A and B are shown apart, each in its own frame.
Chain A
Amino acid sequence: MKRLPIVYAKDLSGRKYWRSLAEQQNDPEYLEAQHREFPAGADEAPPEGDVSRRGFMGIMGAAMALAGMTACRRPEEKIVPYARAPEEVVPGNPLFYATAFPWMGSAIGLLVETHEGRPTKIEGNPLHPDSLGATNTYAQATVLDLYDPDRSDAPRIKGNVKKSWDDAAVALRDVGAKLKADGGKGLAILTPEHRSPSLEAGLADLKKQLPQARVVRWTPFGRAQSRDGARLAFGKPYDTVRDWAKARVIVTLEADAFLRDGSPVKQARGWAQGRNPRHPAEGATVLNRFYAVESVYSVTGACADHRLRLKPSDIVSFAFTLAHQLATAHGADLGELTGALAAQRKDQGPAAKKFMEVLAKDLAANKGASLVVAGENLPAEVHAVVDLINLALGNVGDGKPVQHVQPWNEATPEGGKAVVELAAAIQANQIQTLLILGGNPAFDAPADAKLADAIAKVPTSIHLSTHYDETSALCAWHIPRAHLLESWGDAATEAGEVSIIQPMIAPLYGGKTDLELVRQLLGDVRKGYELVRATFAIDGEPAADSEKRWRKMLHDGVLAGVKMPTEEVKPTYAPTATAVKAWVAPQGVEISFQPDSHAWDGSFANNGWTQEFPDPMHKTTWGNHAWVSPKQAETMGVVEGDVVQVAVGAGSVKLPVLIAPGMADGVVAVMLGQGRRAEGRVQTGIGVDCYPLRASNGLGFAAGKVDKQGDKGVLARTQEHFNTEGRPLIREGSLDEFKKNPKFVSELVEEHAPLESMWTDRDYSKGHKWGMAIDLNSCIGCGACMIACQAENNIPTVGREGVLWSREMHWIRVDRYYEGTPDEPRAVMQPMPCQQCEDAPCEGVCPVGATAHSPEGLNDMAYNRCIGTRYCANNCPWKVRRFNYFNYQKNLSEQKKMQFNPDVTVRARGVMEKCTFCVQRINQAKIALHREGKERVEDGAVVSACAQVCPTAAISFGDLNDPKSKVFHKAWSVLNYVLLEELNTRPRVSYLAKIRNPHPELEAAKPAASEHKE
C-alpha cells in the first residue's frame, strides 16, 4: 500500500542531507520503497497477468468475506485526547485571536474565532481604529477562502508539474545565488499594494544586497490615483486619511466611500456617527449633510441627502467647476489654479448648476468641518484639485476631517504606468528574474501592458500565490502562499496604526508568506514569526519588556495610539494647474470600471459566499453585467439581459446588460474580477473577464463602444421587485418634517383600534426579552451582515441555478427599494432578519410543532423535528424562512467542513431554517453568566453576528427588558416603528425611520417625499 512518506521539517537553507547511498543517488528502487509500508506483494495483489482464475476467485472471495465482516459493526472512531492540553483550550469553548486584514491601502483589525484550532468566524476588532469591531463582506468571506479546496498544495513548475518544497528551496537558493553574484541585475519584484512594515524591511534589505533590483507595485484597485494627486498638489505622494465623523458637510465625487475608496469601514462608521436624529427630549440631533456626485448608483450615493448623476468625465468637469466656484464666489484660495479651472468649467445644465452652487455655499459655510472626497476612478488631477479644495477650506490637519500622512514608499513605482514599463523592460530583455509576491497580475494588469505575454517570456519567474492561477501558469515556479489566517505578518492602517497578523492555524498546504519568500531568496531562512518579531524589536530593550510589549500587541491586535504624524502640507498649484489644463474629456460612451461586488478584483472569485452575495444595489449574484441607465438602454436599444459587446481600444468583451436606475446616461459600467480562466470549482464559468478593456491610461474610465448582440443572458437576482407598492415598509422624512412633528413616523400609518390576540399572551416581562432594532439612518446596505450570518450559522450556498430558482438561503437579507423616477430614484435599504414575532404566524401552522417559542421570546426551529411542509414559510409575512430544497451540505470538501461553526447545526435537506437571533451566542453568554453566579446577561455580552459585523452599528441587539440596553433605548425612540404592525404578530425586530437632511434650497426644487407612493 502506498502511503505518503513521513514529512520531516524542511531544511529551508536548501542543503540536502542523505541517509544512504541509494537515497543520495536517487535510486528508483529506494524511492519506490520509501512510499511503501510493506514490500511489494505483501499487501497488494500481484501485478496483472499473474492472477490465475483460481487465485482471482480466492482473492475476491476473501475480499467479499472481509467486506461483509466490516458491516457487522459500526466503524470505530477513537477519540484521542490531548496528551498535553494546550493552555487555555477548553474543548467546546472558542478562542479569539487578533489579527488584521489588509484592505485597500489600509487594514481592518480582526478577531478570529477558533474552535480547537480551526478558524471559523471573523469578527472586527473593537480596539482597532479602522475596524471598531466591524468588518466588511470580504473580510468575513476570507475564512472560507482559507478552506478553499482549490488552493495550491505544492510548489509547481511550468506545465502544472508538482515539485517538492525541497526542490523549490534549491531552485530559490540557486536563483538567489545568481542574483547576488551580479547585484540583482535583471531582477524585478512585483508586489501588490501593501502596508506591511516587515515586507518593506525585507524589500529594503534585498535592495541593499541587490541594488539593481527593481520593485514595482500593482493592485487593480488601489490608491495610486490619490497618491498621484497628492504628488501634484503637494509635491509628495501623501496618503490621505479622512475622518468622516468630523465633517458636517461631505461631498463625494465618484467615490464609493462605504465599499471601496479609502478605508470603507471606518468611513461608514464616521458618517453614521454624524447621523443621529433624536427627539428633542432625547438630546441634540446630530445630522451631517451628504452630497454625492457619481455615475454609478453606489450604496454611498444611496446614503446621500443629495445625489447628482453625471458620467465620469462630467464629474471631472464638475470638480473643476466646483473648485472654481469655491475660489471665485466663496474666497477659497486656489492660487494660480483658479485660472486653469476657469478654462475647464462646463455647464452641465440647470440642475447640476444649482446643485454645484448650493454645494459650494454649504462647503464654504462649513469651513474646517467639510470634506470633499474624490474616488479612485477619477484621474490624479481631480484628486489634486480636491486636495487643494480641502486645504483651502481649512479641512486639513490634526483634528480636522482630512489628514495627510507620509507615503509608504514613494520611491517604488506603482500603478498602471509602472506595470506597462515593467512589461516593456521584460520585452526589451532587461528582466531575467521576476518575483511576483502575490496578486494575479497576468489576469488583472492593464491590457496595454500585455503583462501575461511578458511574464511568459521571463526566463526565471516565481509566483507566490494561494492558488495555481493565471499568473502561476505562466511562471517558471509557483510557490503556494499561506493564507492570511495561516501567516505571520503585519499591516498598517492608512494612518499608520500597525497590527500584527498572526496565524490561527498552521498552513493547511504548507505555504509561505511574502515576507519569508523575499528573505529566502537571499538565503535568510528565518520564519515569519522571527521576521515580524525582528521588525518590532527595539534596540537595547530588555528581553522581558520586549516580550511584554510583543504580547500586548498580539493580544490587542494593534499598537494602540502609535501612528504616523500628520504632515504639514504646502500647496504647489503649478503642477496641478498644468495637469488640469491638459485634461481632455474622452469622447463617446464612457466605460467605467468597477470592482465586482462578488469577486472584488478577482481574488474572491472562487468564494461561494461572495459569489452568492447579492450586489448591494442590484441584488445580482454569480456573474457580472454591463450596467446602464434606463435612458442609455433606450438609446442603445437594449432591454435587460441583452448581450452587448463593450469595446475599449483593442479589447472587447460580451456581457449581458443590467438596467440600473439612477445611473448617469452616457456611461456603461463593467465589473472586473469575474470570468476567471484558472480552474476553480466556484469561479469556473462564472461571469466575463472585463480586464481586457482596462488600459493604463484609463484605469477608472475610458471612452469605448457598445454594440447590441443578438444573444440574451439571464440575471440571477435575489430581489426582482424594487417598488414598495405604497406600503409603509420604509419610513423616512426630512429633518424639517421631523423637527416640526417628531411623531410623524407613527402617523404615517392609519390609526387602528388596539389589536387583540386569539391566544393567551405569554408574559415576557421577567427574564430576558431579546430584541433587535435596526436604524435605517445608519444602515448603508453594504450586506456585511449577510456574509457574517452565513459564516456564523453554517448557511449553505445554492449556486447560480439555485438563485435562478429563488432558493437562496440567506437568513438575513438586505432589501433595497427605489422611490421616485427610474432616472432619479432614491434608494433605501432595509435589512430583514427573522422578525422573531411574539405571536408568530409560522408557529401555529406547523403540523408537527417544529417551530415554537422559547421563554425568552425567540422563535426557535427544531430542525430535527421539521418534516418540511413549508407551511411556516408560506405563512411568514416577511418571507424570511428558508427551505433546504436539496441537500446543499452533502458533497462538501473536508476543508469546508472545518469552517463549520460547531455551535450551530448543519441542516440536512428537507428542513426549514431561519434566523435564530444567534441563539448559540445567547446561550454561550448565559452559560458564562451562570458560572459567574450572575442573574442577567449584561448589555453587549451577547451580540448577534449581524450586529457585530455592522460597520455603522445600525443593528442593535439586546435585552428589551433591560432599560439600560442600547436596543431598549432604540426600541423606545420616537422614530421606532414595526413592520406590518396591523397583523399583530408583535415582532421583536423594529426599525428606526430614516431622517434625511436635504438642503432647503435643493429640496425646494423637488417634491416632498415622505411617502413611498409611485
Chain B
Amino acid sequence: MSAAPVPVTSDVDDPSIRAPLVLGRQNFATVSDSVSTIVERKAPKTWFLLLGLALSILAILGGSLVDLVWKGVGRWGNNHPVGWAWDITGFVFWIGIGHAGTLISAILFLFRQKWRTSINRAAEAMTIFAVMAAGIYPAFHVGRVWLLYWVFPFPNQMSVWPNFKSPLLWDVFAVSTYATVSILFWFVGLVPDLATLRDRATTRTRQIVFGIFALGWRGSHRHWLNYERAYMILAGLSTPLVLSVHTIVSFDFAVSVMPGWHTTIFPPYFVAGAVFSGFAMVLTLMIIVRKAFGLEHLLTKRHLENMCKIILATGSMVGYAYAMEFFIAWYSGNDYERYAFVNRAFGPYKWAYWTMVSCNVICPQLFWFKKIRTSIPAIFVISIFVNIGMWFERFVIIVTSLHRDFIPSSWGYFRPTLIDISTFFGTFGLFLTMFLLFLKFLPSIAISEVKGVMPAADPHHHDDRHEAHEGLTGGTGNEDHHESDPEAVHA
C-alpha cells in the first residue's frame, strides 16, 4: 500500500507560492500506511543491529554507574578546584538537546508553523529521552546517591526542608516539571495515532495495548474538541518551559560568585544555545530516520532547510553571546572576570574554547548558502559539529571557570578518567535505545497532524478530496474532523 518514493523537491523560493509540506501523490491512506507499517511490520535487520549496538552502549553506562556508586565519585576526574566537570557538562548538554523538541512541538504549534507536523513527534520523543539522559548526571554526580531524595521537599521526621535559595533545587523543580509536561504533551499528541494503530491492529495484544493507551479514542467531535483544547493548553504550558528550564539551568552558574559564571547574559544565551543544539540533534536524527524508513516524502528537504535556518539564527545568537561575554568582561573592569575570559581563550583549555568557537560560531555560518543548507551530507556533518561544539561550550563554561578562579594557589587542571568517558558515551546508549524502541513501537510521525496539513484536508480542494479518500480503510474518523474543524482548515 505504501507510496512509491517520490523525487524530493523543495526548491520553492517564491513566498507567494505555498510549497507542499507532503510530497508526491499522497492521500490520507498512504500517510497512515507509511507511518503505521513501521510499527506493524517486522523491524528491518538494521534496526535490530542498531538496537543491539545501543543496548551495548547502555550496558557501558550501567557498568560505569555501578562502578561509580560502588567506589565513589572519585572514579571521575573531578578534583578540588574543578568540582563539576563532565558530569554537569553532560547534564546541560542533554537538557539543551531536549529543547528543540519542546520548541518544535509547542512554540511552532502556537505560531501555526505547519511544517512542524512531520518532525514534532520524533522531536518530542527526543526531548523526553534527552531529559532522561540528562537526569543521570545530577542524580549520580552527588557523593551519596542514596540520599538524593533529600532534594525533594517532603515532610520528614528530621523536620528539614531543602534549601529554597539554592539554584540546584530550582533545577530539581525545573527539570522535573519539564519532564512531566513534556511526557504529557507527547502522550496527548499520541492519542489519535494510537487509536489509528489500534484500529489497524491485527493481533489481540496490539489491540489491547494500543487500546489501553488510546484512552478510548473514537474520533468523535467531542473527542477532537477536548483533544485540541488539551493540546493547546499543554503547548501553552510547554512554551514558557522552553525558556524557563534552561534559564534555571543557567542559574546554576549565574547565581554563583565565580568569574566566568556570574553573568546576567546566561539565561538568554543558554536558551539560544539549547535550541541551537537541540535542532542540531533533531537534524542528525531526522536525516538518518527519513533515509532509513523511507520517509523523505514526509520529512522533506524543506523541513531540513527550515531547521538549518533556525540553527543559523541561534548559532549567530550564541556567537553574539560569546563576543558579548568578552566585551562585558573587559568593560566591567573586573580583573577576575577579565582573567577568566582571557584564560578561556588563551589558557590551558584554549583547545576546548577554539573547538567550541569553530563548531558553534563558524560552522553554522555556512548555512547562509542555500547549496549547503539543502545538501543532506553537508547538513549532517554540520549538525554533528554543532553537537560537538555545544558539548564543548558547556565544558568550557564549567571547567575553565572552575579550574582558575580567584586564588591562584588553588588553580588546577581537570583530566577525564576512563569512567568519565564511558559514562558520557553510555548516555548515548540510553538515548539511542529509547529512540530506537520509540521508532519501532510508536508512530514516529504524527499521522493525524500530517493529514491536517495535506491539501486534501482543505475543504476547498475538492479535486484532491476525492483522491484523499481513495482506498481509505479503517475508521478513525480523522477525515471528518478535518472537514469540520474550522481552525485546522483555515489556519
Contact = CB atoms under 8 A, between A and B. Distances in A.
B256 A875 contact: yes
Contacts of A867: 142-144, 147-148, 150-151
A436 B405 CA distance: 54
B84 interface: yes
Nearest to B172: A847
Nearest to B149: A867
Contacts of A908: 144
Contacts of A874: 83-84, 256, 258, 402
B163 interface: yes
Nearest to A798: B74
Nearest to A805: B79
B151 A877 contact: no
A865 B143 CA distance: 12
Interface string A884-918: 11110000000000000000000011111000000
B166 A886 contact: no
A351 to B, nearest CB: 29
Interface string B43-82: 0000000000000000000000000000111100111110
Contact of B257 (A726, A729, A830, A875): A875
B349 interface: no
A339 interface: no
Contacts of B81: 806, 879
B459 to A, nearest CB: 55
Interface in B230-258: 252, 255-258
A727 interface: yes
A886 B71 CA distance: 7
A238 interface: no
B257 A841 contact: yes
B73 to A, nearest CB: 6
B203 interface: no
Contacts of B256: 841, 845, 871, 874-875
Interface string B403-429: 011111111110000000000000000
A846 interface: yes
A417 B260 CA distance: 62
Contacts of A627: none
A483 interface: no
Interface in B166-205: 166-169, 172
Nearest to A813: B409
Contacts of A816: 409
A807 interface: yes
Interface string A786-820: 00000000000000000001111000010111000
Contacts of B72: 884-887, 909-910
Main secondary structure of the interface of B (DSSP, over half): loop
B408 A849 contact: no
A55 interface: no
B154 interface: no
Contacts of B327: none
Contacts of A352: none
Given A867-B148, A875-B257, A879-B80, A726 B335 contact: yes
Contacts of B406: 727, 877-879, 980
A703 interface: no
A868 B144 contact: yes
A832 B407 CA distance: 10
B69 to A, nearest CB: 10
Interface residues of A, number: 55
Contacts of A849: 160-163, 166
B74 A807 contact: yes
B291 interface: no
B172 A883 contact: no
B335 A727 contact: yes
B165 interface: yes
A847 B163 contact: yes
A879 B407 contact: yes
Nearest to B168: A847
A886 B74 contact: yes
B330 interface: no
A725 B161 CA distance: 42
B78 A983 contact: no
B167 A910 contact: no
Given A849-B163, A871-B83, A886-B74, A815 B407 contact: yes
A720 interface: yes
A886 to B, nearest CB: 4
A652 interface: no
Interface string B444-457: 00000000000000
A724 interface: yes
A425 interface: no
A720 B411 contact: yes
Contacts of A726: 335
A467 to B, nearest CB: 31
Given A807-B74, A870-B83, A883-B83, A848 B339 contact: no
A740 interface: no
A4 B148 CA distance: 48
B141 interface: yes
Contacts of A808: 80
B14 to A, nearest CB: 54
A624 B24 CA distance: 77
B335 A847 contact: no
A15 B406 CA distance: 70
B144 A866 contact: yes
Nearest to A870: B83
B407 A848 contact: no
A696 interface: no
A882 interface: yes
A805 B416 CA distance: 10
A485 B4 CA distance: 92
A832 B167 CA distance: 28
Contacts of B336: 727
Nearest to B336: A727
A879 B160 contact: no
A721 B162 contact: no
A719 interface: yes
Contact of B408 (A721, A845, A985): A721
Contacts of B405: 877, 879
A881 to B, nearest CB: 8
A363 to B, nearest CB: 36
A882 B74 CA distance: 13
B407 A729 contact: yes
B408 A723 contact: yes
Contacts of B402: 874
Nearest to A911: B143
Contact of B409 (A805, A815, A865): A815
Interface in A964-996: 979-980, 983, 985
A911 B144 contact: yes
B430 to A, nearest CB: 22
A983 B151 contact: no
Nearest to B403: A806
Contacts of A721: 404, 408-409, 411
A866 B71 CA distance: 18
Given A805-B79, A882-B80, A885-B74, A868 B169 contact: no
A203 B161 CA distance: 70
A887 B71 CA distance: 8
A807 B79 contact: yes
A844 B165 CA distance: 6
Given A815-B409, A875-B256, A883-B73, 17 more contacts: A719-B409, A721-B404, A723-B408, A725-B408, A727-B335, A727-B336, A729-B407, A806-B413, A830-B409, A832-B407, A848-B162, A849-B160, A849-B161, A869-B143, A886-B71, A886-B74, A910-B144
28 contacts: A725-B408, A729-B408, A815-B407, A817-B409, A832-B409, A844-B166, A844-B255, A846-B166, A847-B168, A849-B161, A849-B162, A849-B166, A869-B141, A869-B168, A870-B84, A871-B252, A875-B257, A875-B258, A878-B407, A879-B406, A883-B73, A884-B143, A885-B78, A886-B74, A908-B144, A910-B144, A911-B143, A979-B407
> 4 tightest CB-CB pairs across the interface, nearest first?
A868-B143, A910-B143, A885-B74, A870-B83
